[in-house]
Chain A
Amino acid sequence: MRDNTHPMTVRVNQQASTLPYQYADIEIENNAQRLPLVLCLDTSHSMLGAPIASLNEALRDWTRELHDDVSLSYSVEVAVLTFGDAGVSAWQGPNLLPYNSPVSPFVPAHLFQPPQLKAAGVTLMAEALELSVQIVAARKAELRQLGLQFYRPQICLVTDGLPTDATGHPTDAWRRVVPVLTEEQRARRFRLYAIGVGGITDRGEEVLRAFAPTFNARLHGFPFRELLQMMSASANAEQRGAGDEVFEKIFSQFKTQRPAWES
């Protein structure tokens, strides 16, 4: 089985016959500039039923679109973290990684397959964000070591609730990660998106605003499809070297739930 954690071993495998005969023998490694993308998803009990079904469906659709995008598929690397039943879980594509596994959860987009998520358990949101920050830093170090360049990573937090402790009780412990996230975002280590869905409360929204002052939103229903498309649009903008204002525009259009990133 191919080891997804070592992108240098992954070769672009298109038909060489499509190349002009003078260049047919050129070997090209997939040393595309990478764009790490973390989906940090709430799979706690409140997501049970239609919400988690719609999230799974959106992940499948998005994966298909990602595979079809010649540019994103060899550049974006997807890691899925969930917070719910087993506390915080890291997935390498469809496979749940053992707790504290040293294996990177990032998978090149063209090889990514989404996990089948189930809803249950508590909302260890702060811990999930801490792990997000950690895996992004680790991935950057790996990419540097592999001699690969990278774009500014994106972390996308999606939740319908309030942070809890391991027993499911609301807690203020999330406040401890705010200074960390603030400093990391100031140093441009990643872009953090914090999206509230379903029946998220005012207090829930306040938490998201503290985490991600620039890119936070409270949306009606569970528009996961639009959300994932917004992440692709932002990845796109990152690839073409867009300025901050472009990301803010993409995000504000997403917030108003108009599909304007297609324009």
Chain B
Amino acid sequence: MDDDSSGGPGAQWRVRGVSVEGYRHRRTGTPCQDSWLYTVSGPPEDSVTVLAVADGAGSRARSDEGSALAVQLAVECFTRRSAELPPTASGVRAALREAFLDVRDEFLRRTGDESNDFATTLTVAVLTPRWIGYLSVGDGFVVLRAGTVDGVPQFHLLPQPAAASEYSNETVFLTSTDAERWVRTACVRDPEVDGVLLSTDGLAQIALTWVDGQPHQPRASFVAAMLRTLDSPGDDPDEDDEALAVLLRSDKLTAVNADDKTLLRAVRP
């Protein structure tokens, strides 16, 4: 699970992921419908890390399987498409879209007529030595940490897909008709990026500030704490994960959002 080897500076990412079931699911014994997964491929000095989180639709019967399938397909397809390492930003974004279509088509093929029962969002980040690619459908989000101002780390929220309606609990799924129209991509070239955080909407109110019903920017204190504990891990990574899970399950966070919660974090020390 851990990817803690220390390669050359800037090449190797330390990655950890945690999902916890929300308050409702805990009370009803329903499994967590969020999933996360990552893979690292290629030689150590030129590796590609693909991170994916997915949030199965609360109202759909098999969405826990749907989110698991989505992240599995995502790490496969995005790794494959990223292997070519397109040199231009538009090339990267085109490759991300191709990878998304690969995921979507395979997802629909495997789930067949019941695909709506597996409805899920999908948010992917691809970390390469030259660029960071991002693709999202639905309401997951990605925050980057890059550079400092007066010694204070700076955080950036990557652009999210347009809201599906005035109510933010309504979103677009991988399985939605025309999902490809709602996909948002970005290509970031900034060698200073040294922290990446992917999450599902269960933390949207906690990790982000909001303006006019739209996510505005990362809430620095929260995001900083999430990455800090990965920058300076304890002796036992599993204990660190457990501490994070206790935080995510706490009443304090539940009061703000009772949904399942997922954090997939990557830092390069």
**Number of B interface residues in the complex (CB < 8 A):** 39
Q: Is the CB of A71 within 8 A of B247?
A: no
Is B254 interfacial (CB-CB < 8 Å)? yes
**Number of A interface residues in the complex (CB < 8 A):** 40
With contact pairs A18-B251, A26-B225, A148-B210 given, residues A239 and B205 touching in the complex (Cβ less than 8 Å): no
Is A33 interfacial (CB-CB < 8 Å)? yes
- The chain B residue sitting closest to A27, CB to CB, is B221
**Chain A 1-45, CB within 8 Å of chain B: the 1/0 string?**
000000000001010101111110111111111000000000000
Please measure, in the bound complex, the distance between the C-alpha atom of A70 and the C-alpha atom of B205, giving whole angstroms: 16
Cβ contact of B221, chosen from A26, A148, A152, cutoff 8 A = A26
Q: For A25, list chain B residues within 8 Å (CB).
A: 225
Is A215 interfacial (CB-CB < 8 Å)? no
Please measure, in the bound complex, the distance between the C-alpha atom of A240 and the C-alpha atom of B247, giving whole angstroms: 21
Is A164 interfacial (CB-CB < 8 Å)? no
Q: Is the CB of B251 within 8 A of A14?
A: yes
Q: Is the CB of B213 within 8 A of A144?
A: yes
Q: For A29, list chain B residues within 8 Å (CB).
A: 256
Is B152 interfacial (CB-CB < 8 Å)? no
Please measure, in the bound complex, the distance between the C-alpha atom of A70 and the C-alpha atom of B166, giving whole angstroms: 25
Q: Is the CB of A20 within 8 A of B246?
A: yes
Cβ contact of B58, chosen from A21, A27, A149, A240, cutoff 8 A = A240
Q: For B59, list chain A residues within 8 Å (CB).
A: 240-243, 246
Q: Is the CB of B210 within 8 A of A31?
A: yes
Q: Is the CB of A147 within 8 A of B255?
A: no
Please count the residue pairs between chain A and chain B whose beta carbons lie under 8 angstroms apart in the complex.
112
User: Which residues of B204-218 have CB atoms within 8 Å of chain A's CB atoms?
Assistant: 204-206, 209-213, 216
Q: Nearest Cβ in chain B — how far from A45, in angstroms?
A: 39
Q: Is the CB of B206 within 8 A of A144?
A: no
Please measure, in the bound complex, the distance between the C-alpha atom of A111 and the C-alpha atom of B214, giving whole angstroms: 27
- The chain B residue sitting closest to A240, CB to CB, is B58
Tell me the interface secondary structure of chain A in the complex.
loop
Q: For A22, list chain B residues within 8 Å (CB).
A: 225, 229, 240, 243, 247
Cβ contact of A71, chosen from B222, B244, B255, cutoff 8 A = B255
- The chain A residue sitting closest to B165, CB to CB, is A188
Q: Is the CB of B205 within 8 A of A238?
A: no
Q: A30-B255, A73-B255 are in contact. List 12 more A-B contacts (CB 8 A).
A: A20-B244, A23-B225, A23-B229, A23-B243, A29-B256, A31-B256, A71-B24, A71-B255, A150-B167, A150-B213, A240-B24, A242-B58
Q: List 26 A-B contacts (CB under 8 A).
A: A14-B251, A14-B255, A20-B246, A22-B247, A23-B243, A23-B244, A28-B222, A30-B255, A30-B256, A32-B205, A32-B255, A70-B251, A75-B258, A144-B213, A147-B210, A147-B212, A148-B210, A149-B210, A150-B167, A151-B167, A238-B169, A239-B169, A239-B259, A242-B58, A242-B59, A246-B59
